[in-house]
């Protein structure tokens, strides 16, 4: 399959090709544009390849082969039923399998949200295959004495939202009742001009409550999101449900166990870290210290960029600024 689909870049319209490849035992859908050194764009939750619609043209025009997969569990890519098949080792394996399928010895990885964690971990596990990492939103999380979800639960209590998302079938059914509304409320929660950005709310589900209780009621679309954009996301998640993405949370403890051999190991490849100043995920306990000292764990970190007024949906909220930083970073490798 190689049907073109439109993606926007600063008001321009470009053609993005689509096809399927086999990677790490799954059938993976990819969107791609351009020729040259490979740059792989890894989305987060609740997103798909489409979250990078503003990046294709800029990177392709600069001489890169830009590829954005629907990651395991999302979009048109396979969604294995077994939860344990969503560990970070599986997800990193998907990226190495993608490079193999594309005949690329190396690539630059650009990741946002959960995609940033996959990018960091793939570089940690296979630095021979990764030329550099640009992470948006999530800094590198070095393996600690307990898993991240256990650590956050110790800090914020059992209502910490990740515990709720880990319950089999619960958040899946809640979000799937109205996929369009769920996606919109998640996007409204995390962007820079949202009410929560003025007074951040701790991500703790009230006793007897639900995940959507944390989110604002669906209202007007944020300025960076059009009805057509929301239609794309809503159609994908109405068809697939949310279980594939939620399974990434359900393997956090498993991933922590499996990565014990890399305890204390740094990410050695060149790296760029970028986040919105109003991103709630960087306001969790301990994140300020981690970001300030990130070079201890990523010694080849070239730059940390904090985007003023920007929330969690970095590359969709401020595509031109993000593209400028990405081109500067990739061009300097």
pTM, entire model: 0.94
- Single out the residue of 303, 246, 233 nearest to residue 275, CA to CA: 303
Q: Is the pLDDT reported for residue 13 higher than 70?
A: no
Going by pLDDT thresholds of 50, 70 and 90, the confidence category of residue 3 is: very low
Tell me 250's DSSP state.
H
- The pLDDT assigned to 283 comes to 85
Order of all β-strands in the sheet with 65-69: 5-9, 12-23, 26-33, 65-69, 38-42, 107-112, 130-136, 271-276, 301-307
215 DSSP 8-state letter: S
Q: Which residue has the tokens 């025009």?
A: 61
Average pLDDT of the segment spanning 216-231: 91
Contacts of 252 (CB under 8 A, 6+ apart): 147, 148, 149, 162, 166
Pair 294, 272: CB distance under 8 Å: no
pLDDT score for 197: 61
Pick from 44, 41, 65, 45: nearest CA to 53: 41
pLDDT average, residue stretch 65-76: 98
Q: How many domains does the chain have?
A: 1
Q: How confident is the model at residue 321 (pLDDT cuts 50, 70, 90)?
A: very high
CATH number, residue 115? 3.40.50.1820
Question: What does the block give as tokens for 142?
Answer: 């070095």
Place of tokens 């305890």: 263
Lowest mean per-residue pLDDT among 23-27, 203-207, 241-245: 203-207
Please state which of the ranges 94-108, 199-213, 316-330 shows the lowest mean pLDDT. 199-213
Write out the residue range of the structural domain in which residue 300 sits: 5-331
**268-288 burial string, b = 16+ CB within 10 Å, else e?**
ebbbbbbbbebbbbbebeebe
Strand-pair partners of 20: 29
Mean pLDDT of the chain, nearest integer: 93
Structure tokens at 237: 């998640």
Does the active-site annotation cover 312? yes
Is the pLDDT assigned to residue 5 strictly greater than 90?
no
What is the per-residue pLDDT for 200?
63
Say how far apart CA 66 and CA 16 lie, in whole Å: 10
Residue 159 has a pLDDT of: 93
- pLDDT tens per residue across span 121-167: 999 999 999 999 999 999 999 999 999 999 999 989 999 999 999 99
pLDDT of residue 4: 38
Which has the higher per-residue pLDDT, 8 or 288? 288
CA distance 59 to 140: 24
- Determine contact, residues 148/256, Cβ cutoff 8 Å: yes
Task: Name the percent of the chain lying above pLDDT 70.
Answer: 92
End-to-end CA distance of the chain: 33
User: pLDDT tens, 155-186?
Assistant: 899 999 999 999 999 999 999 999 999 999 99
pLDDT of residue 129: 98
Q: Is the pLDDT of residue 202 over 80?
A: no
275 belongs to the catalytic site: no
- Catalytic, out of 113, 229, 236, 279: 113
């Amino acid at each position: 399959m190689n049907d073109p689909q439109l993606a926007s870049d600063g008001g321009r319209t470009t053609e993005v090709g689509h096809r399927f490849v086999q990677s790490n035992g799954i059938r993976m859908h990819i969107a791609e544009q351009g020729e040259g050194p490979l740059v792989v764009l890894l989305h987060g939750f609740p997103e798909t390849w489409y979250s990078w619609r503003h990046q294709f043209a800029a990177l392709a025009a600069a001489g890169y082969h830009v590829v954005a997969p629907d990651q395991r569990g999302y979009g048109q890519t396979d969604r294995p039923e077994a939860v344990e098949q969503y560990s970070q080792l599986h997800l990193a394996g998907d990226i190495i399998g993608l490079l193999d399928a594309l005949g690329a010895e190396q690539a630059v990885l650009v990741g946002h949200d959960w995609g940033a964690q996959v990018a960091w971990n793939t570089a940690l596990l296979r630095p021979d295959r990764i030329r550099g990492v640009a992470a948006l939103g999530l800094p590198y999380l070095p393996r600690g004495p307990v898993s991240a979800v256990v650590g956050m639960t110790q800090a914020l209590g059992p209502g910490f939202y990740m515990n709720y998302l880990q319950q089999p079938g619960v958040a899946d059914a809640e979000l799937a009742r109205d996929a369009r509304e769920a996606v919109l409320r998640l996007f409204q929660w995390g962007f820079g001009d949202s009410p929560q950005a003025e007074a951040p709310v701790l991500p703790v589900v009230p006793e007897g409550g639900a995940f959507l209780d944390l989110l604002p009621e669906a209202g007007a679309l944020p300025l960076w999101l059009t009805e057509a954009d929301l239609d794309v996301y809503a159609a994908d998640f109405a068809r697939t449900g949310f279980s594939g993405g939620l399974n990434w949370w359900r393997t956090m403890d498993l991933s922590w166990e499996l990565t014990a051999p890399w305890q204390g190991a740094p990410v050695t490849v060149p790296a760029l870290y970028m986040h919105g100043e109003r991103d709630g995920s960087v306001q969790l306990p301990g994140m300020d210290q981690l970001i300030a000292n990130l070079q201890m764990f990523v010694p080849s970190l070239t730059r940390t960029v904090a985007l003023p007024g920007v929330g969690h949906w970095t590359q969709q909220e401020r595509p031109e600024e993000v593209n400028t930083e990405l081109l500067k970073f990739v061009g300097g490798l």
